[in-house]
Structure 1
Amino acid sequence: MELTAASELSLRELSTLFARSFEGYFVTIPDAPLLFDARVRGEHISLADSRVARVEGVPVGLVLMARRGRVSRVAGMGIVPAYRHRKLGGAMLSPLMEEARARGDTRMLLEVIEQNTPAVKLYERLGFQRVRRLVGFVGTPTPEPAELEEVEPVDCARLLPEGLPWQLAPATVAGLALPARAFRLGPAVAVLGDVSAPTLVVRAIAVEPEARGKGAGRRLLRALAAAYPGKSLAVSAIVPEGLCDRFFLGAGFNPSQLTQLEFALGPW
């Protein structure tokens, strides 16, 4: 097996390889170049630092590496079905861990679906330590029409605290672009994923400090349900357990079945 820079492939080729590498996974990864491009830009993925795994020249896996400051993140690692169970995962990631140390990164982060036992064991074997459990929610709030103002994702990012997981961090939310869209209702702001999708994914939601605890966030969720009738709302498993449980459960959501574990390697 050899590793080559992901930047050597086209966006179309990377999108297809990414989808193939996650066939049969816990969540469906579509082969959609525009969505792949949005992921790359929104999560600060460096294609120059990401790697394609090749066997006899044929791409068989992909490791996406995100970088922000002196912190790296494994934004996705997968292997096409025919080459799984050959112990390629460790061989793919170990060189990237060494590259991160060599360039002076202080930490490497990743998230893994908790129910994905083989992957959890792999990361633990490589020295990653569990940081916290991440949870998600799904529900259909009672629709309550209201006049929503479309704003920029950065308006939500400004209200988020530091110390959140990578996908929920202010820097990530601020960088989200179409098809993500942001809406404000009074002091509350939410960022949605692709609103044309069957389910509305709430990428982030925040309320101005002086208005917190007064129902503004839940009113915004009800207004979004009214604006997009017939669609359920979902929050991916990127929220630290215990941080927003009362808020979402009180808004009529249920915990999602899949959870994630956030892992960290370092500081070095």
Structure 2
Amino acid sequence: MNLTPASELSLRELSTLFSRSFEDYFVQVPDSPFLFDARMRSEHISLADSRIARVGGEPVGLVLIARRGRMSRVAAMGIVPAYRNRKLGGAILGPLMEESRARGDTRMVLEVIEQNTPAVKLYERLGFQRVRRLVGFVGTPAPEPATLEEVEPVECARLLPEGLPWQLAPPTVAGLAVPVRAFRLGPAVAVLGDLSAPTLALRAIAVEPQVRGKGAGSKLLRALASVHPGKPLSVSVIVPEGPCERFFLRAGLTSPRLSQQEMAHFA
């Protein structure tokens, strides 16, 4: 097995390999160059630092590495079904951890589905430590009509606190582009995924600091439910347990079965 830069493959080839590497996984990944490109841009994935795993020249897996400042993130690591259970995971990720240290990163982070016990154990063997548990939500808030103002996602990003997981962090939200849309109701702003999808994907929600805890966020969720009647609202499994979790539960959403562990390796 050898590793080559992901930048050697076309966007089309990367999208297909990405999808194949997550076949029969807990969460299915569509083969969509458009979505793959959007993810790279918003999450700051570096194809020069990402790697393709090859056996006999054939691509059998990939690791996507994102970078911000002196921190890097394993945005995804997958292996095609025919080459799983061959202990390739550590052989793939180990060299990338060395590259991260060599370029001066102080931390490498990742998220792993908590129910994926072999993957959690692999990362722990490599020295990653559990940081916090991440959860998601789904449900339909009680609708309450209100007039929404469409704004740019950066308006939400400016209101988000520091210390959020990578996919919820201000730089990620600020980098989201069409078909993602953002809407404001008073001091609250929400960012949504493709509005034509059967489920309303809430990418982020934030409230101006001086009025947090006074119901503005919940009111915005109810307004969105009114504008999109019958559509369930979903939040990816990237929300830290704690105050954010309680906000969604109070709004009438429930947590699905899957959860994630955010893990970190410190240089």
Q: TM-score range by the shorter chain?
A: over 0.9
- 1:59 CA drift (Å): 0.6
- 1:44-59 equivalences under 5 Å are 44-59=44-59
Task: Write the distance in 2 (CA, Å) between the matches of 1:93 and 1:195.
Answer: 36
SS state at 2:111 partner: strand
Q: Distance in 2 between matches of 1:73 and 1:248?
A: 27
2:35 alignment counterpart: 35
Q: Which SS does the other structure have where 2:144 is aligned?
A: coil
Of stretches 239-248 and 99-108 in structure 1, the one that deviates more from structure 2 is 239-248
Letter in 2 for 1:81: P
What's the Cα RMSD here? 0.9
What is the total number of aligned residue pairs between the two structures? 267
Deviation at residue 198 of structure 1 after TM alignment: 1.6
- What is the distance in 2 between the residues matched to 1:195 and 1:122? 38
Percent identity reads 80
Whole-Å separation in 2 of the counterparts to 1:185 and 1:57 = 53
Aligned to 1:261: 261
Residues of 1 paired with 2:109 and 2:243: CA distance? 20
TM-score w.r.t. the length of structure 1 is 0.97
How far apart in 2 are the matches of 1:197 and 1:264?
33
Distance in 1 between residues matched to 2:178 and 2:81, nearest whole Å = 31
Shift of 1:239: 1.1
TM-score (norm 2): 0.98
Give the conservation status (yes or no) of the 8 Å contact 2:239–2:245. Answer: no
Unaligned runs of 5+ in 1: none
SS in 2 for 1:46: strand
Aligned residues of 1:38 and 1:178 also touching (Cα < 8 A):
no
Task: Tell me the equivalent position of 1:129.
Answer: 129
Query: What is the SS of the residue equivalent to 2:39?
Result: helix
Task: Tell me how far apart the structure 1 counterparts of residues 38 and 30 of structure 2 sit (CA, whole Å).
Answer: 13
- The CA distance in 2 between the partners of 1:98 and 1:194, in whole Å, is 38
Residue aligned with 2:238, SS: strand
Question: What's the offset of the Cα at 1:55?
Answer: 0.7
- Residue aligning to 2:244: 244
Asked whether 1:170 is paired with 2:170, we answer yes
Give the corresponding residue for 1:233: 233
Structure 2 gap segments, 5+ residues each: none
CA distance in 2, matches of 1:44, 1:68: 7
